[in-house]
Copies of this chain bind each other. A is one copy, B any other.
Amino acid sequence: MSVPHLVTALTGPILDLERKILAAQPEIEHWFRNQWQELTPPFYGSVDLRNAGYKLAPVDMNLFPGGFNNLNPEFHPLAVQAAMGALEDLCPSARRLLLIPENHTRNTFYLQNVAALVRILRQSGLAVRLGSLNPDIIEPTTLDLPDGHKLTLEPLERHGDRLTLPGFDPCVVLLNNDLSGGIPPILQNLEQQVLPPLRAGWSTRRKTNHFAAYDHVASEFARLIGIDPWVINPYFDHVDGLDFHQRDGEDRLAASVDAMLARIRRKYAEHGIDHEPFVIVKANAGTYGMGVMSVKSADEVRGLNRKQRNKMSVVKEGLEVHDVIVQEGVPTFEHIDDAVAEPVVYMLDRFVIGGFYRVHTGRGPEENLNAPGMHFAPLAFATPCTTPDCDGAPDSEPNRFYAYGVVARLALLAAAHELEPVAQEVALAV
């Protein structure tokens, strides 16, 4: 597989951040080692990063990653090795794994992701079968993939507190389904271990909890390497009690956007950044790039027309949005030819196993690239994120990817904090 070299348009300050990350590499890895002594990493995750030149920050963290097929196949052994380690830590006695994918059976991109994931899990030494929550799957159903491989989905069965398939009693259940539609009864109170835990699903998870945990992680890390935490951390705010159809809460949302723009403007002035601030408003629970707006003024959230209100009010599975995260917009300065590019870093256990660029020809540097129906070209990273070259320039490709891997792992740490049983109870009690 030939991977094109990527064009980046980065100057000045980001080199300073990358230089600091490289110079502190032994301290950084030592710090991560100590963090993982206290915390359990999620089984897997992917992080959307934005590299603005003056800022390199995560803007989203997915705990049910769906693009394993987009990774560079040359780094596939890294994923297998990481999965072997994760199994040893999380469920050493497991022999059989039941993978529960999303319900869409016609999205061949997604199905190729499932096939790539199955391959990793099998090579790490598990018997793997696929159980579907899709009510249309009433018998074993074999789907053809574009590369000639096949996937067989089987209807889930429940016997007492165990989830099974005919002739297959799994030791562990791995979700690649984000539970946007809620936690179905068949998954509740299982005696089998479920990875990631059910509370990681979007029926309970909230982006604002994640970024609250990230605030803490980013501050500690910033202190470690001597940087302003803002350089790796987008501001955010939480607005709930919204009803886009009824226009309830519109003023509070506008006020939040206004305040956020003012905060960004102050930081831009402080760092000498000549850029017009913008803000991303997104559903606090959800994925697939639905329920997302990019705005440059509070007026833009006040005067929404019906179409815009409809777009904001529902996410996947038709769920209504009453709760949003108002997040500092981080423009992406990376582009490939004329297309805007956003790196997505994949992790399994506590290891970076690769990543790809989400490239979108039809969108600008301030827009959300993870849009429904988007025609993105995934471009696998040419080098892994684990091999900084201390003799190379700070912005040489392996070093840029090392910095991406570090920031992605900060988001992974935040997810680990977020998923801690106690933290979750506190968060849910709020």
Binding site for B on A (CB under 8 A): 25-30, 32-34, 36-37, 74-78, 80-82, 84-85, 87-88, 92-96, 122-127, 351, 384, 386-388, 390
Contact = CB atoms under 8 A, between A and B. Distances in A.
Contacts of A95: 26-27, 30
Contact of A33 (B74, B77, B125): B125
B386 A123 contact: yes
Contacts of A28: 125
27 contacts: A25-B125, A26-B95, A26-B122, A26-B126, A28-B125, A29-B84, A29-B125, A29-B126, A30-B93, A30-B125, A30-B126, A32-B125, A33-B92, A33-B93, A33-B125, A34-B93, A37-B92, A74-B74, A75-B77, A76-B387, A77-B384, A77-B386, A78-B81, A80-B386, A81-B81, A81-B82, A123-B386
Contact of A77 (B78, B93, B125): B78
Q: Which of A81, A82, A94, A387 has the most CB of B within 10 A?
A: A81
- Majority secondary structure, A binding face: helix
Contacts of A96: 26
Q: What's the number of copies of this chain in the assembled complex?
A: 2
A74 B78 CA distance: 11
A173 to B, nearest CB: 17
Contact of A30 (B34, B94, B123, B388): B94
A386 B351 CA distance: 17
A29 B78 contact: no
A82 to B, nearest CB: 7
A279 B163 CA distance: 55
Nearest to A34: B92
